[in-house]
Amino acid sequence: MDEAVRTEVVGAVLVITLDRPSANAIDVPTSHALHGAFSRLESDASLRVGIVTGAGERFFSAGWDLKAAAAGEAVDADHGPGGFAGLTELFGRSKPVIAAVNGLALGGGLELALAADLMVVAEHAELALPEVRVGVVADSGGLLRLPRRLPEAVAREMLLTGRRMGADEALRWGLASRVAPAAELLATALDLASEITAGAPLAVAAVQEVLAVTAGLDVREGFALMRSGELPAYARMLRSEDALEGPRAFAGKRPPRWRGR
């Protein structure tokens, strides 16, 4: 694993830390290293949830490494199979990723956080997509994901002006699911991860799949797709031993013993 990307296993959680002083900016090699970490999360059956965060308290990530750009890294450089930051174009994931935003999430840094499934934000953090101010646009997911997560007028303002959004505003709009003091950020993200791992792994994978494939569909179309038999994670969940174990555990007043099958 690239030294700019550190990983730690905490129970069933893979904590991925971006550590590139001083701003945790992301170049092509770092994108590949991040993709390696997210791929490990998907392939390792013992891991249930990922958390991605930045080292330090000032920056989650300043996004694209402009020093690398000035040295010749092209704006349309190939960042690998997961796209920029290893996650922005990593589709079809079955395991949730939480972005623990420990500081400034700017440009591609916010795009990395937006590519995660949930966002926990430090009280002092600020979020922005300032690409228009440096002559480009947020085309690593910001243009596509932000308007789906915020009211259109709010997202459009951020995209057109590059203004920063604070943690409380992010929570108010539902962009962040939790806000925590800086010293408690990782613990808060781990608590959220533990709440996810309390659920059945196949059910969590089914939630991920259904949400992904029904995005943009109306309710009738979503039901039709779920009932079509064409969603493998959803179908596997319905046939699973865990789908029987849950009601049995509830009736027996005991914790469920998930087997992931």
Q: Which residues are catalytic?
A: 111, 131
Which of 10, 35, 94, 53 has its CA nearest to residue 186?
53
Q: CB 210: neighbour CB atoms within 10 A?
A: 17
By CB atoms closer than 10 A (0-12, 13-18, 19+), residue 248 is exposed
In which residue are the tokens 């450089």 written?
77
Amino acid (one-letter) located at 124: H
> Quick one: which H or E segment has residue 28?
helix 28-43
Please, what's the largest Cα pairwise distance for the chain?
64
Beta-ladder partners of 98:
51, 118
Strand order across the beta sheet in which 165-166 lies: 59-61, 104-106, 126-128, 165-166
